[in-house]
Structure 1
């Protein structure tokens, strides 16, 4: 409810007007509040929890002093005292020292947030923090539902690549932006008749040894004119990535975990490709999907292609939604004859 009120206020107020939140609570919540539009804040949680002999951590929320064997923090309090030494002090001293630690940690988190904003990594920080408690994961859904609104304020370019490490990463505004632009701003190259979809592998775009080899075979084929072939990558994060855009930000500057091939991620990928085909599907007479049995990774090792990659699921979707004649192939060389049949009909 707090985040919903904050986001509603942010939409109504002039963006130049700062919003102050009273009683923000534990440090784990700070980054989520800032991402939702909070500019200023205060909190008495540091002393309130200290009175209950509770010690702030960023990884597990609060801990009772009596349960702690080692202090994970390096603040002046935690480096001067051990938990057992702190427990031996009089209660007022315990409360004061715990309050100091809690305050140190709170200010440390604020500095971390400011640095994340400067580096353009606030979303990554939010995703780290919400994993500390299920209620934070639930609260974050309020923020993610507002991605279309937040996207308007997201920077077009950032100096660092993006890290997509969890399912929550798939709900970021930067993905919403790509979805809108590929649907509304992108144009299929003139003269194209055939679509070739290749999987994005362990490294992005043409940096992959196998993708580079496939592109070379396509470019030098003697069967179908290259101008009639449109090559796109299928990314578990961004969906359809036209090859000509594959070296632009953020499509070439991101890392993803293997979670991006989970069932949830596959559903996300199908959602991402839908606008592309609704806007551009009529440009293609046929579609060839490359689903290799194996590929060469960035270490020049030949490895088995994962069955969980969303490219395994898109054939039926494309045929159902677009009526394009679509076939899967294991090898690039096979697709040219598939396209050539159209020439002779």
Structure 2
């Protein structure tokens, strides 16, 4: 699978099949071969790229089996794009054992020309005992091993019920498959147990092969799409569009409504201005079923379109935060999501500002990084000065009194920001100056935070104008760029010297370039982080322990990269696992010889899995030096 854009674990990507590419995230509508009333033209007009049908239903129906074996599944259901076939596992869960074994049903899917073939896995239920779930995980893996081949796309469902360690084990085992559905979740979806789903998706995603698509089996309601995508789901399947239509339910992104209780269809609906709800109620059942199904599919794909746009503009997290207030079960799921440390998978910054809503925002990855850095910052044993809102005007130059106090002491200076205190030097670094606050004070949190700081360093007091002396012992601007460097690269040594020249924008006063002699070491980005020049990369390469902040490639790729060309995933031999997506990295060989500098497109934990696409977007190669 190739990835183009990402936010957290969410990604816009491409997965190739024999009948075409699938751009993710997307939905596969479930097509019942006995009830196929939507044409491929109608499906594609809504945005359908691929569909899913059930090979078990086809095989157990003699006429369908014969037609599928003769003409193929694509002709049978009249769809010429990618088709995934399920194996009958869900039917086995609902009705008991089915009459075919794993080998038979997989071979049948191959014989009818399925693009994505699903093994006959063991469905794990939420109420299963640990021993039952573990046995199902092991048997499902055994079944994958007996049919897994390189000449077909085999879907190996991740099972394990609600037991985190079993989901983790299953994710690692099933990563041998080329396509990774998360199974056993329909009962949780039907009972609104979204917080359990959050845990299942996270444990499945971060322990599986990142280069392979993650499919949430049965996750067909748009209410939970954004959550699922943010946590790494690429593909869904949905039979809800037709199930709701059968019950005269009209689907919207936030829920469903009864056809008899709506006044009109929304403007985005394919039924808008063509039919009124009253006219549809009076229509014959077949017509009503088809038209409502089209509307419901459109609602589903509207949500997918919105999610893709949110990933592109880096606002999906914000969208999920908004969605979390739509239902108590979603809010509980949101709080469960925040309890996980997903920081390693988030970019160093986002293109969009970070919205501060309430105290739950403190659990956001970006604020967690700030707090973690602040803890290390105040542990140096030096006296720490807290500067409150009244003394600090964010967005304005540092006042002369505070600047004098800073430059004539060696104290730690923390500024108040959203009722917490962070290093003054990070005043412009994401998300500090890119935050849109609610303006609602959180006094209890502030007091607890100050107490926490004092437990780390008792030498803490609030700023007063008597602080400081007459002799200048440090320069704030130079300290600032070194502190940004410490934060960005998790380093305790200084990269910049007092003699380095700092060039600021004449219009804004913001730092632009840092030079040593006539060479640029780094440029400060709009998000307050540093972009290294190749000269800066050379300096950094001599300071950081190997392989920290490095992506390691072979000689052939290195020669290419040294000329300023991007690093492709397939040439990455190793990397620092702690690399953060969007952060600058050095491209070296396995001996540490520098080829180039650039920014990583994914985290170090993901980089070794991908084989297609760009791993590092190179700024400069060593041959430019």
Q: TM above 0.5, one fold?
A: yes
| Corresponding residue for residue 465 of structure 2 | 336
| Corresponding residue for residue 430 of structure 2 | 249
The alpha-carbon deviation at position 63 of structure 1 amounts to 0.8
Task: Quote the Cα distance in structure 2 between the aligned partners of 1:86 and 1:200.
Answer: 62
The alpha-carbon deviation at position 73 of structure 1 amounts to 4.2
The alpha-carbon deviation at position 103 of structure 1 amounts to 0.6
Cα pair distance change 1:68/1:166, threshold 3 Å: farther
The alpha-carbon deviation at position 188 of structure 1 amounts to 8.2
Structure with higher helix content: 1
Task: Quote the Cα distance in structure 1 between the aligned partners of 2:368 and 2:454.
Answer: 16
Cα pair distance change 1:177/1:337, threshold 3 Å: closer
Instruction: Verify: 1:131 aligned to 2:313, yes or no.
Output: no
The alpha-carbon deviation at position 33 of structure 1 amounts to 0.9
Alignment check: 8 A CA contact 2:251 2:299 kept:
yes
| Corresponding residue for residue 308 of structure 1 | none
Task: Quote the Cα distance in structure 1 between the aligned partners of 2:451 and 2:326.
Answer: 34
Root-mean-square deviation over aligned CA pairs: 3.2
Cα pair distance change 1:128/1:22, threshold 3 Å: same
Task: Quote the Cα distance in structure 2 between the aligned partners of 1:143 and 1:30.
Answer: 14
Task: Quote the Cα distance in structure 1 between the aligned partners of 2:448 and 2:211.
Answer: 35
Cα pair distance change 1:196/1:27, threshold 3 Å: same
| Corresponding residue for residue 162 of structure 1 | 354
Task: Quote the Cα distance in structure 2 between the aligned partners of 1:270 and 1:92.
Answer: 64
Alignment check: 8 A CA contact 2:253 2:300 kept:
no
Cα pair distance change 1:256/1:71, threshold 3 Å: farther
The alpha-carbon deviation at position 167 of structure 1 amounts to 4.7
| Corresponding residue for residue 315 of structure 1 | none
Alignment check: 8 A CA contact 2:395 2:433 kept:
no
Q: Which of residues 401, 405, 418 in structure 2 aligns to 1:236?
A: 418
Instruction: Verify: 1:95 aligned to 2:289, yes or no.
Output: yes
Cα pair distance change 1:97/1:267, threshold 3 Å: farther
Instruction: Verify: 1:172 aligned to 2:353, yes or no.
Output: no
The alpha-carbon deviation at position 228 of structure 1 amounts to 5.4
Task: Quote the Cα distance in structure 1 between the aligned partners of 2:358 and 2:290.
Answer: 38
SS of equivalent to 1:287: strand
Listed one character per residue, the Cα deviations across residues 223-270 of structure 1 (whole Å, up to 9, x for unaligned) are: x97435654322226x21222111111111010213x42xxx444445
Unmatched runs of 5 consecutive residues or more in structure 1: 290-334, 341-345
SS of equivalent to 1:20: strand
Task: Quote the Cα distance in structure 2 between the aligned partners of 1:80 and 1:166.
Answer: 44
Identify which of structures 1 and 2 has the higher relative contact order when contacts are C-alpha pairs closer than 8 Å and 6+ apart: 1
Task: Quote the Cα distance in structure 2 between the aligned partners of 1:124 and 1:43.
Answer: 25
Task: Quote the Cα distance in structure 2 between the aligned partners of 1:40 and 1:80.
Answer: 32
Instruction: Verify: 1:42 aligned to 2:224, yes or no.
Output: no
Alignment check: 8 A CA contact 1:183 1:275 kept:
no
| Corresponding residue for residue 227 of structure 1 | 409
| Corresponding residue for residue 258 of structure 2 | 64
Q: Looking at CA atoms only, which structure, 1 or 2, has the larger radius of gyration?
A: 2
| Corresponding residue for residue 339 of structure 2 | 145
Task: Quote the Cα distance in structure 2 between the aligned partners of 1:5 and 1:74.
Answer: 34
Alignment check: 8 A CA contact 1:58 1:132 kept:
no
Q: Which of residues 306, 314, 317 in structure 2 aligns to 1:112?
A: 306
SS of equivalent to 1:37: coil
The alpha-carbon deviation at position 48 of structure 1 amounts to 0.9
Task: Quote the Cα distance in structure 2 between the aligned partners of 1:167 and 1:91.
Answer: 50
Task: Quote the Cα distance in structure 2 between the aligned partners of 1:19 and 1:215.
Answer: 52
Listed one character per residue, the Cα deviations across residues 113-161 of structure 1 (whole Å, up to 9, x for unaligned) are: 1221122211111112222211111122221111x1x110000022222
SS of equivalent to 1:42: strand
Alignment check: 8 A CA contact 1:75 1:104 kept:
yes
SS of equivalent to 1:250: coil
| Corresponding residue for residue 287 of structure 1 | 461
Task: Quote the Cα distance in structure 2 between the aligned partners of 1:219 and 1:173.
Answer: 30
TM-score of the pair, normalised by structure 1: 0.69
Alignment check: 8 A CA contact 1:23 1:42 kept:
yes
Cα pair distance change 1:171/1:88, threshold 3 Å: farther
Deviates more, 1:134-143 or 1:79-88: 79-88
| Corresponding residue for residue 330 of structure 1 | none
Cα pair distance change 1:339/1:14, threshold 3 Å: same
Cα pair distance change 1:47/1:197, threshold 3 Å: same
Instruction: Verify: 1:216 aligned to 2:400, yes or no.
Output: yes
Cα pair distance change 1:138/1:197, threshold 3 Å: same
The alpha-carbon deviation at position 183 of structure 1 amounts to 2.2
Alignment check: 8 A CA contact 1:55 1:63 kept:
yes
Unmatched runs of 5 consecutive residues or more in structure 2: 1-195, 470-625
The alpha-carbon deviation at position 4 of structure 1 amounts to 1.8
| Corresponding residue for residue 195 of structure 1 | 385
SS of equivalent to 1:232: strand
